[in-house]
Structure 1
Amino acid sequence: MEQVLRPIYQERASFPETLGVILVEKRCKGDPVTDTFDAILLIITADEEIPIFTKHYTDGHEKAAMHVISEKQLKKWLLLGSQRKVVDWLFYGRVYFDRNEFVENLRREMQEYPFYGRKMKMGLELSKLVRGYIEGKTFFEQGNYMDAYHHVVKSLHHLARLAVIETGLFPEVTVWSQVKKIDPSIYKLYEELITSEEPLEKRLELLFLASEFFIHHRTADGARHIMDVLATKELWTIQELHEHEEARMYSIDLEVYIEFLIDKGFIQVVQSESKNELIFHRDYRVE
């Protein structure tokens, strides 16, 4: 497949806007990292006109996918952690073209973490962790244990990613392999949830108690990013936060995250008069 793809990536490498060309080959049959394709051709471009452009190829026996990704889109994915397979492609793919060491510098930045906003990534993972915990506990208290289990597994995954980010590493596709080395206590918690022979209700009950501990000890560091945003001016409406370039990255988790931080004493609520004398506006600030 590499030989078949060579003319394609050679042509793309000749384009002045192409920053890097990476080839990723499957490591096993049906490899999910390559979306079950035999090869992935990742092309990073400075052209922002089309953020994502994809083509599929076959030589009659094997199949390949070409993804042309703008630098801006790629960095957004890396910041939000929304395309974990791309991290794997960048770290482990073979670099066939690297204009001005763009890919090499990107890999270094990913490892050292200054550019991709470690504080923001911690905040994003904490917000998702909090939502998963709250939703899971609500289902648990209603006696809907399978639904609670689903949300708890999701929240544990965000806890694992948060633990990896805390150490300055980048969460990979195999995040639990990372966590097993970085924080065995979180790995053990996950292992107990999915392998224990205790009744599901008992497993969930113990896990919620442990999750409270983990969340409590990570809130101050995880909340640092949103607190820095709030500190840039005296008072915020929720709409202003939704429109803020960085705060809006929290997306649907923003409001439940703000309420969680109010409950924990990190954010203050300020009431201001509205046109209706029976109701007040609810704004937010930090000291």
Structure 2
Amino acid sequence: MERTIFSIMDEEKAGRQAIGAIGYRHDSGSYHDSLLHDFEFLILVVHHGLENSELQIEHCMSGDIHYQLLHVDSHAIEKWVTAGDNRELVQYFLHGDVIWDVDGKLKAFRSYINAFGDSLKERRKFKEFAKFLKVYVEAKRYTSEHDLLDAYYSVLQALKHYARLELIDQGILPESSVWEQVRHLNSVVYKLFDELTDSKETLEQRIQLVLLACEFSLTSKMADCCSLLLRILGSRKEPWSVQELMKLPELALVKDELPLVLRKLVYRSLAKESIKSQRDGSGEGREIRYRV
């Protein structure tokens, strides 16, 4: 890393809330995505308590070098890791060079993310499981309607979530190159990926085979992957309504998939229904609530 380019970073330039900066240099001739454009260098300035929590972008020059300066809050990085979002930026954060650090705070925060501790792991696992379940159900529906191309796409997405779950179980933080990560594990999901994409069977046969394996995986992983939700369901005596659960910040990342997950937990006898009578303008209704 060329220090002359990144030596510009200090508190005055980055802002007083910054805890440090990470520099990342792309290989010469490598593909630059729409975020990086033609910038060879990227500087990621990490803040604690950034007033505007959204990613802030600046385009700058140092001599004749163009570089991109990104300001991001540490809570946003943690959220990306939990949600699996902005994988390229997470990769830059994890693998770039620390070029400026305030009292070791940046290195400590990166060590925390790299450790991929139980709290981060549990939230990320539940999120990937919920997405896995959703696209699996979509693939089953497309297959029943003989819409095989859409079914194939959904199955491929399901395998990606499955792959991330395997990595998480190994204590590995999933990154953007998930198939390269699982290829070295000699994993079941990589064999299924091969079966789906490179087999002499018909497309429908390949899809059906992978769906069967996905169904088994979903069933066997459900209790472990849904531990966060099951703990919430058991955290009070009164059963939870789906509306109450969807408002919880811990479940915000799976808000769209939560109703489906709840029904599957009930179907597998991991959660129970509780009926509550209620009155509205049209008469008496019966609301389904959930508990363990």
Task: Judge same fold: TM > 0.5, yes or no.
Answer: yes
1:40-96 Cα deviation digits (max 9, x unpaired): 210001232111211123679764321100122222212212121122112210110
Q: Does 1:237 align with 2:241?
A: yes
Match for residue 74 of structure 1?
Answer: 77
Q: Does 1:125 align with 2:157?
A: no
SS in 1 for 2:104: helix
Match for residue 209 of structure 1?
Answer: 212
Q: Distance in 1 between matches of 2:17 and 2:264?
A: 44
Match for residue 21 of structure 1?
Answer: 21
Match for residue 252 of structure 1?
Answer: 256
1:265 aligned residue (266, 269, 272): 269
Alignment of 1:163-182 (within 5 A): 163-182=166-185
Q: Distance in 1 between matches of 2:66 and 2:250?
A: 39
Equivalent position amino acid for 2:166 in 1: A
* Higher mean C-alpha displacement, 267-276 vs 4-13: 4-13
**Residues 35 and 141 of structure 1: CA distance in aligned 2, closer, same or farther (over 3 Å):** farther
* Higher mean C-alpha displacement, 25-34 vs 225-234: 25-34
**Residues 46 and 216 of structure 1: CA distance in aligned 2, closer, same or farther (over 3 Å):** same
Q: Distance in 2 between matches of 1:40 and 1:198?
A: 46
SS in 2 for 1:182: coil
Match for residue 87 of structure 2?
Answer: 84
2:189 aligned residue (174, 186, 189): 186
* Higher mean C-alpha displacement, 24-33 vs 128-137: 24-33
Report if aligned partners of 1:21, 1:41 keep a CA contact under 8 Å in 2: yes
Deviation at 1:194, TM superposition (A): 1.5
Q: Does 1:154 align with 2:157?
A: yes
Report if aligned partners of 1:137, 1:208 keep a CA contact under 8 Å in 2: yes
Q: Distance in 1 between matches of 2:244 and 2:196?
A: 40
SS in 2 for 1:117: helix
Report if aligned partners of 2:130, 2:258 keep a CA contact under 8 Å in 1: yes
* Higher mean C-alpha displacement, 186-195 vs 136-145: 186-195
Identity of aligned residues (%): 24
Match for residue 280 of structure 1?
Answer: 286
Deviation at 1:175, TM superposition (A): 1.5
Unaligned runs of 5+ in 1: none
Q: Distance in 1 between matches of 2:23 and 2:105?
A: 15
**Residues 31 and 18 of structure 1: CA distance in aligned 2, closer, same or farther (over 3 Å):** same
- The RMSD of aligned alpha carbons is 2.4
Q: Deviating runs (4+, > 4 A) in structure 1?
A: 1-5, 11-14, 58-63
Report if aligned partners of 2:241, 2:289 keep a CA contact under 8 Å in 1: yes
* Higher mean C-alpha displacement, 219-228 vs 111-120: 111-120
Deviation at 1:283, TM superposition (A): 0.8
Q: Distance in 1 between matches of 2:85 and 2:50?
A: 19
Match for residue 105 of structure 1?
Answer: 108
**Residues 217 and 231 of structure 1: CA distance in aligned 2, closer, same or farther (over 3 Å):** same
Q: Distance in 2 between matches of 1:161 and 1:240?
A: 29
Q: Distance in 1 between matches of 2:208 and 2:176?
A: 28
Match for residue 50 of structure 1?
Answer: 52
Deviation at 1:3, TM superposition (A): 6.8
**Residues 58 and 14 of structure 1: CA distance in aligned 2, closer, same or farther (over 3 Å):** closer
Equivalent position amino acid for 2:277 in 1: E
* Higher mean C-alpha displacement, 269-278 vs 230-239: 269-278
Report if aligned partners of 2:274, 2:291 keep a CA contact under 8 Å in 1: yes
Q: Distance in 1 between matches of 2:183 and 2:199?
A: 18
Q: Does 1:93 align with 2:103?
A: no
Q: Distance in 2 between matches of 1:32 and 1:116?
A: 31
1:65 aligned residue (64, 68, 72): 68
